[in-house]
Amino acid sequence: MPRPKIAAGNWKMNKTLNDGLKLVREIRADTKASDGVQIILAPPAVFLPSIVSITADASHIEVAAQNCHEAEKGAYTGEIAVDMLASVGVKYVILGHSERRQYYGETNHLLAQKIDRVLGTDVLPIFCCGEALEIREAGQHVAFVGEQLRESLFHLSAEQMAKVIIAYEPIWAIGTGVTASKEQAQEMHREIRQLIAAQYSPELADAIAILSGGCAKLAISVALIPLAVVFG
């Protein structure tokens, strides 16, 4: 069974609501389900209900949150529970983005808790992994990403693991002047699939969607947004 083709756009802390709605309308106008690409848009949390509302009848466009808390509920001012996301129609949530790891100290073990919480709902996780430049230059990138997967994901059952989308982000190519080639990304995709095959099965490793992080222009869109596009 062929893997799905996915383009996932993380807006980070950018755009006003009106700007965001304009962007989504442009994407809707320039894309259609028959293109065969599943588009996942991840706007700031405050925009989620509005974006869900105007994409509800577009089967090829889904909405993701940029983060969620590991607890079901509680006194966590400013945080968002995954059940809250589900209640407004959000289908995906990004977990473990490199900026969350760097700026907010999110660890592999914390992300394992978030993964468990999300998989107990109808929301699906997009799990981010990737290495910094010094790790890549030291030749430790495969081992580093492997540790991220083992500590955050490999406690899952095969059935749970099949629900996870993995987003590999070459952090070393962001703002460093060093360019990550398609071949380098595909090489890491193969390594990730081998790790999954060893832990679970070759069939699961082949079926799981792995995205490649970075900025690109979606050919069928007039808008430039950060994208992660799955390689076939």
Q: Is 169 a catalytic residue?
A: yes
Catalytic residue among 97, 106, 131, 141: 97
Token digits of residue 62: 């889904």
Catalytic residue among 70, 106, 131, 169: 169
The answer to whether residues 196 and 152 touch, using CB atoms and an 8 Å cutoff, is no
Token digits of residue 156: 């899952």
CB proximity list for 35: less than 8 A, separation 6 or greater: 60, 220
DSSP states of 161-204: HTTPEEEE--GGGSSSSPPPPHHHHHHHHHHHHHHHHHHS-HHH
Token digits of residue 92: 């995906």
CA distance 66 to 10: 7
Phi, psi of 110, deg, nearest 5: -65, -40
Amino acid at 154: F
Number of Cβ atoms within 10 Å of the Cβ of 145: 21
CA distance 66 to 47: 11
CB proximity list for 87: less than 8 A, separation 6 or greater: none
Active site residues: 97, 169
